Amino acid sequence: MAYRFTDEGWDRWRFAGLALAALLIVVVPSLLLLQLSRDSVNAANWVAHTQAVSARLYVLQADIRDVESAALTMSKGVESDALRQRLRRADYIGQTLGELSNLVSDSPEQLVRIGRITSMLERRMALAKQIADSVDSPRQRQLIEEMTFSYPIRDIVVELQHHEEQLLTKRVAAAQRQQRLSTLVTWSTLAAQLLLLGLVLWLLKRQIGRRNRAEQRLLQASARAGAVLQTVREPIVLLNAEQRIVLHNAAFAELYGVQGRDANGQPLQSVGEGAWADPIIHQRLADVLLRGRELWDYEHEQRGVDGLVRIMLVNARRMPLPDSDDEVVLMTVSDVTLQRAVQLRVEELNRQLEGKIEQMAEVNRELEAFSYSVSHDLRAPLRHVAGFSDKLARHLGEDADERSRHYLQVIGDSARRMAALIDDLLVYSRLGRGAMRLQPVDMQSLVADTRALLDSNLRAEAGADGTVRDVQWNIGPLPVLVADENMMRQVWLNLLGNAVKYTAGREHALIEISAQQLPDGGHQFTVRDNGTGFDMQYAGKLFGVFQRLHKASDYPGTGIGLASVRRVLTRHGGRIWAEAQVDQGATFHFILPPPAPDAHS
């Protein structure tokens, strides 16, 4: 498991470690110095103890010499109180030996030596007293020799003194080591404490820096929040439990005529010259704070300080304050007067549009009736005219003169032309009214089928000698688009048919078809020919119904084909235009936009 520490957690661990370091650096060296001080005192006491033993030995030896010298002097017949007093010191030597025994009680070897000295001194002091009383005694010499040679204590005293000197050397060395160790610990402790003090100062400086940076960031965040609040053009206000203003932005002050921060602390109903005097809005705001309800898109009609009646959209919710335990109401106010007016206008326009739609439906019904009438009622008279003109021509036979035959020919041609016009009008009407069936359409195949149909017509129109017109087709790669296939077939049939028709005067006709994709995803198609062309000043009439730029006798047609093309492209959201020069061919461009996302799945 991985643990993630926050800055606060790191601070706690850092200060805990700092406290532990302070404890180790302050308390442990203090205890160590106390122990070293005790050891130093003990070492000093042992040095003093050894010196005391040496001093008592010196006193012991001095007393022995005084007693023996006094005894030898008195054995020569010299008698004085001073000598007697020195001789009586033999009685105090036991006390000195007792003090030595106490001093060396920690050393069994020294106690053994003290015991040997005690036993020898008792006999030696007794011999010294006998020597003092043996004036002119024949045993005097024997007693002196016995005291001097039979009970020697000098070697034992030297051993005892030498042992104490060795102990003194060791104890002085131990005391010096303790002193050096104490000095080292003292300086190390001082260095560690100085380091700890520096670390504490560094941490304090860093903590103060972090606090200052945090306060600076907090001030910057507060300033940014305040700037955003004051920049928002939607009125915003904070209200406390008494519905007094805690904070507001400039938009609120501007809307309700508040100067600066004068509104802070004032009751809401006292601002805006009675705009908030409605008790219903106060009850709803109280419910927001007391019951935790949120006020969503509540419409409140107000009269502003400028005297205009506005419809305000009020939203309010409860929120806690970051710097206290109190909760306030955050209220936003939006002026939707214009939106409501626009909505009413839209509703009115929708009602009018519904009426227009009904009118258009009525017009469409009438158009349907008219189309039916044209399709059925007008065809029958035309058939009668064309049929009876043919019967009349056959009836007259050879009896008809040239003028009569001409009249009958004009009547038949006009009837057939009228039938063609009716058919084209019906096709044009269906292109505008029929429902579109959008599906993927392969423009390459559609153009190929149209070319095959036109080539077949050219072969059917071949002259008596069987010569077929020379038409060269240059067809570039064409895309697959989502469109109405039947309508697009009508587009290509009209455009390519016109190209074939208006290049009839060329020995070698050239027709080019190409396409390119546009940046928005649409496609632009181009149909170019080297035919008769037209004058661009009449280009505005090109796509109108029954508008022709050439004589019908030169180029047959009804003048509805290009109008039908524009209607199809308009229904697909596209457009068409033409470029031409007289006797130098024409170029037609049309654009199909990209399909809508839901146009075809």
Check whether residue 352 and residue 331 sit in a common domain: no
What pLDDT, on the 0 to 100 scale, is given for residue 14? 66
Are the CB atoms for 153 and 124 separated by under 8 Å? yes
Check whether residue 404 and residue 465 sit in a common domain: no
The dihedrals phi and psi of 483, each to the nearest 5 degrees, come to -160, 180
Contacts of 334 (CB under 8 A, 6+ apart): 234, 235, 312, 313, 315
DSSP class of residue 552 equals T
What is the percentage of the chain residues whose pLDDT exceeds 90? 7
Contacts of 123 (CB under 8 A, 6+ apart): 150, 151
For the ranges 38-42, 121-125, 455-459, 521-525, the maximum mean pLDDT occurs at 521-525
Check whether residue 280 and residue 420 sit in a common domain: no
What pLDDT, on the 0 to 100 scale, is given for residue 600? 46
Are the CB atoms for 282 and 269 separated by under 8 Å? yes
Whether 125 maps to a domain, the answer reads yes
Whether 2 maps to a domain, the answer reads no
Look at 429 and 415; give whichever has higher pLDDT: 415
Check whether residue 37 and residue 94 sit in a common domain: yes
Q: Give the integer Cα–Cα distance in Å for 295 and 318.
A: 10
Whether 599 maps to a domain, the answer reads no
Q: Give the integer Cα–Cα distance in Å for 590 and 601.
A: 25
The alpha-carbon radius of gyration of the chain (Å, integer) is: 67
DSSP secondary structure letters along 133-184: H-TT-TTHHHHHHIIIIIS--HHHHHHHHHHHHHHHHHHHHHHHHHHHHHHH
Q: Which residues lie across from 575 on neighbouring strands?
A: 591
Give residue 2's pLDDT band: very low, low, confident or very high (50, 70, 90). Answer: very low
Residue 453's domain comprises 435-592
Check whether residue 449 and residue 587 sit in a common domain: yes
Strand boundaries in 150-272, DSSP class E: 236-239, 245-248
Contacts of 180 (CB under 8 A, 6+ apart): none
CA end-to-end span of the chain? 50
Whether 89 maps to a domain, the answer reads yes
Check whether residue 249 and residue 190 sit in a common domain: no
Q: Token pair of 531, please?
A: 């035919």
What is the CATH number for 25? Answer: 1.20.120
Q: What is the pLDDT of residues 446-462, one digit of tens each?
A: 999 998 888 888 888 77
Q: Give CA 90 to chain center in angstroms.
A: 105
Q: What is the pLDDT of residues 304-360, one digit of tens each?
A: 767 778 888 888 888 887 766 678 888 888 888 888 888 888 888 888 888 887 776
Whether 107 maps to a domain, the answer reads yes
Write the Ramachandran bin of 272: left for phi over 0, alpha for psi from -120 to 50, otherwise beta: left
Whether 211 maps to a domain, the answer reads no
For the ranges 119-123, 395-399, 400-404, 577-581, the maximum mean pLDDT occurs at 577-581
Q: What is the pLDDT of residues 170-187, one digit of tens each?
A: 777 877 787 787 788 778
Whether 38 maps to a domain, the answer reads yes
Give the residue from 138, 172, 194 where a domain finishes. Answer: 194
- Give helix 7-74 / helix 93-103 axis angle, nearest 10°: 160
SS (H, E, C) 405-443: HHHHHHHHHHHHHHHHHHHHHHHHHHHHHCCCCEEEEEH
Check whether residue 519 and residue 411 sit in a common domain: no
Q: How many domains does the chain have?
A: 5
What is the CATH number for 570? Answer: 3.30.565.10
Check whether residue 321 and residue 364 sit in a common domain: no
